[in-house]
Copies of this chain bind each other. A is one copy, B any other.
Amino acid sequence: MARLVMKFGGTSVADVARIRAAAKHVKRERDAGNEVAVVVSAMAGVTNQLVAWAGEIGAWSYGAEADAAGRESDVVVATGEQVTCGLMALALQALGVKARSWLAWQIPIVSDDAPGKARIESIAAQDLLAAMANGEVPVVPGFQGVTRGGRLTTLGRGGSDTSAVALAATLAADRCDIYTDVEGVYTSDPRVVAKARKLDKITYEEMLEMASVGAKVLQTRSVELAMKQGVRLQVRSSFSDAPGTLVVDEDEIVEKALVSGVAYSRDEAKITLSRVADRPGVAAAVFGPLAEANVNVDMIVQNVSADGKTTDLTFTVVKADLDRAVAILEARRKDLGFAGLIQDRNVVKVSVIGVGMRSHAGVAQRMFQALAEKGINIQAITTSEIKVSVLIAEEYTELAVRALHSVYGLDAD
- Cα(A151)–Cα(B90), bound, Å: 15
Number of interface residues of A (CB under 8 A): 40
Contact B54 A86 (CB under 8 A): yes
The one of B56, B68, B82, B90 that contacts A93, using a Cβ cutoff of 8 Å: B68
A57 within 8 Å of B by Cβ?
Answer: yes
A99-107, A161-169, A277-285 - interface stretch: A99-107
Chain B residues with CB under 8 Å of A89's CB are: 72, 75
Q: How many copies does the complex hold?
A: 2
- Cα(A50)–Cα(B91), bound, Å: 14
- Cα(A390)–Cα(B152), bound, Å: 54
Contact A60 B103 (CB under 8 A): no
- Cα(A17)–Cα(B97), bound, Å: 43
Cβ proximity bits A48-72 to B, threshold 8 Å, 1 near / 0 not: 0010011011111000010011011
Chain B residues with CB under 8 Å of A75's CB are: 82, 85-86, 89, 101, 103
Chain B residues with CB under 8 Å of A219's CB are: none
Contact A82 B76 (CB under 8 A): yes
Chain B residues with CB under 8 Å of A83's CB are: 50, 53, 76, 79
Chain B residues with CB under 8 Å of A82's CB are: 75-76, 78-79, 82
A73 within 8 Å of B by Cβ?
Answer: yes
- Cα(A169)–Cα(B86), bound, Å: 32
A33 within 8 Å of B by Cβ?
Answer: no
A352 within 8 Å of B by Cβ?
Answer: no
- Cα(A85)–Cα(B72), bound, Å: 8
Contact A86 B59 (CB under 8 A): no
Interface on A for B, CB 8 Å cutoff? Answer: 16, 19-20, 50, 53-54, 56-60, 65, 68-69, 71-76, 78-79, 82-83, 85-87, 89-91, 93-94, 100-101, 103, 105-106, 150-152
Please provide the 3 A-B residue pairs with the shortest distance between their CB atoms, ordered closest to farther.
A75-B86, A76-B86, A79-B79
Contact B54 A87 (CB under 8 A): yes
The one of B16, B54, B65, B150 that contacts A56, using a Cβ cutoff of 8 Å: B16
- Cα(A65)–Cα(B89), bound, Å: 12
Closest to A20 in B: B57
Closest to A136 in B: B68
Contact B50 A94 (CB under 8 A): no
- Cα(A105)–Cα(B19), bound, Å: 27
- Cα(A82)–Cα(B58), bound, Å: 16
Chain B residues with CB under 8 Å of A90's CB are: 54, 57-58, 69, 72-73, 76
Contact A100 B79 (CB under 8 A): no
The one of B16, B58, B69 that contacts A57, using a Cβ cutoff of 8 Å: B16
Chain B residues with CB under 8 Å of A50's CB are: 83
Closest to A65 in B: B93
- Cα(A92)–Cα(B275), bound, Å: 53
Closest to A141 in B: B75
Contact B86 A100 (CB under 8 A): no
Chain B residues with CB under 8 Å of A74's CB are: 86
Chain B residues with CB under 8 Å of A86's CB are: 54, 72-76
- Cα(A93)–Cα(B64), bound, Å: 11
Chain B residues with CB under 8 Å of A91's CB are: 57
The one of B65, B100, B150 that contacts A72, using a Cβ cutoff of 8 Å: B100
Contact A87 B93 (CB under 8 A): no
- Cα(A117)–Cα(B60), bound, Å: 39
- Cα(A68)–Cα(B131), bound, Å: 14
Chain B residues with CB under 8 Å of A58's CB are: 90, 93-94
Are A93 and B76 CB-contacts (below 8 A) given A53-B16, A87-B54? no
A-B contact list, 25 entries, CB within 8 Å? A16-B56, A19-B57, A50-B83, A53-B87, A54-B86, A54-B90, A57-B87, A57-B90, A57-B91, A60-B94, A69-B90, A69-B93, A71-B100, A72-B86, A72-B87, A72-B89, A72-B101, A75-B101, A76-B82, A76-B86, A76-B87, A76-B90, A78-B82, A79-B82, A106-B151
